[in-house]
Structure 1
């Protein structure tokens, strides 16, 4: 029976929007899936910068940024849910790199989801405070809002060929320019953007 087959597991995968997905939020988007199970899925759009950078955002929060490497970092539109809240994708904090202050509150922040041993997502304010103080994770990607699917919803969209999926490469998240991430994720599948129209509508 089809219903007895195991549920596809897409945590730490990219969702690559197909050309037929013309939604104003998700069209031409690359989504990093942080959590996926029978309850639904949660992800962040990682290739659509908002009209604010990290320095400006932290200035508004009265937390002047002291990380020189992040001064030009954009903030991203992570999705349509809770767009007033920050969601921070970041590399894991190795215990050896922590200062005494970091050690006071342990290896992770107040509200951190471990996606893989190397990638975490934090929603608590303390990660932003850490960045403002010149500390924090080595690499970060800050989003406003997130993307969510109810139970079975993402699977239905996959069946309708709305998305391609591929296991995520953290280098695309943290080392590739935002405008190049969509194409870089396609290359993980051996595809180029011009090939997608021929893939549309095929199972």
Structure 2
């Protein structure tokens, strides 16, 4: 956490989260300041939609054979808009440095770069939509035990084991998911 903000961190949804859209969610915080926070889920694949399929729909020709990576549902806000989370070895004109060696680009340029090995990032995924919070909202949710946080790593962010990412993130911070409760207390 830099300067009191969570950019570059992963949010791990606690059991009993009041919004079912975030049950067992693992969200990479891409931007966070005193006015807002924005992140994308890293463990919610869109059934049957692959990255090559989406490129074909956008009429982006690929000069290489792309793996059939699944497109992810990044969150409930602007679900028709795409966001590419990628390693910071690729930084386009409109890329946002997320921290922890990660970046976010929401323009067509990164899709073309990935499809053509035009200085493509080492790792990436495409998410549709994002999760957003207003001023102080994310901080309040963390205080209210809605989210835990952890440092990202390549497997948690880019790995394809979507069903286990949530529990793997908990294990990374030493938490057994079977011992978590949906109820929080104060001492």
Common fold: TM-score over 0.5: yes
Counterpart check, 1:50 vs 2:46? yes
**How many correspondences in the alignment?**
183
**Could you say which residue in structure 2 is the equivalent of 1:62?**
59
Which residue pairs with 1:11 in the alignment? Answer: 7
Match of 1:104 in 2: none
Tell me if structure 1 keeps the 8 A contact 2:8–2:100. no
The answer to whether structure 1 residue 130 and structure 2 residue 113 are counterparts is: yes
d(CA) in 2 for partners of 1:71, 1:174: 13
Contact map agreement 2:83 2:128 (CA 8 A) in 1: yes
C-alpha deviation, 1:132, in angstroms: 1.8
In 2, Cα distance between equivalents of 1:189 and 1:112 = 29
SS in 2 for 1:182: helix
- Aligned with 1:84 (options 80, 86, 93): 80
The alignment status of 1:158 with 2:166, answered yes or no, reads no
1:53 and 1:75 in contact (8 A); partners too: yes
Provide structure 1 residue ranges, at least 5 long, that are not aligned to the other structure.
1-5, 94-106
Q: What is the CA–CA distance in structure 2 between the aligned matches of 1:38 and 1:128, rounded to whole Å?
A: 31
* Partners of 1:66 and 1:131 within 8 A in 2: no
Higher-helix-fraction structure? 1
Asked which structure has the greater CA Rg, the reply is: 1
Q: Is structure 2 residue 35 aligned with structure 1 residue 39?
A: yes
Measured against aligned partners, the alpha-carbon deviations of 1:85-126 in whole angstroms (never above 9, x if no partner) come to 110010122xxxxxxxxxxxxx62131001126211111110
Asked if structure 2 preserves the Cα contact closer than 8 Å seen for 1:18 and 1:163, the reply is: yes
**What is the TM-score normalised by the length of structure 1?**
0.82
Deviating above 6 A after TM superposition, structure 1's stretches of 4 or more consecutive aligned residues are none
Deviation, structure 1 residue 192: 2.0
Aligned-partner Cα distance in 2 for 1:161–1:76 = 25
Distance 2:159 2:42 in 1: 12
Q: TM-score, normalised by structure 2?
A: 0.89
RMSD over aligned Cα, in angstroms?
2.0
- 2:40 match: secondary structure: strand
Structure 1 CA distance for aligned equivalents of residues 63 and 141 of structure 2: 42
| 1:114 alignment partner in structure 2 | 97
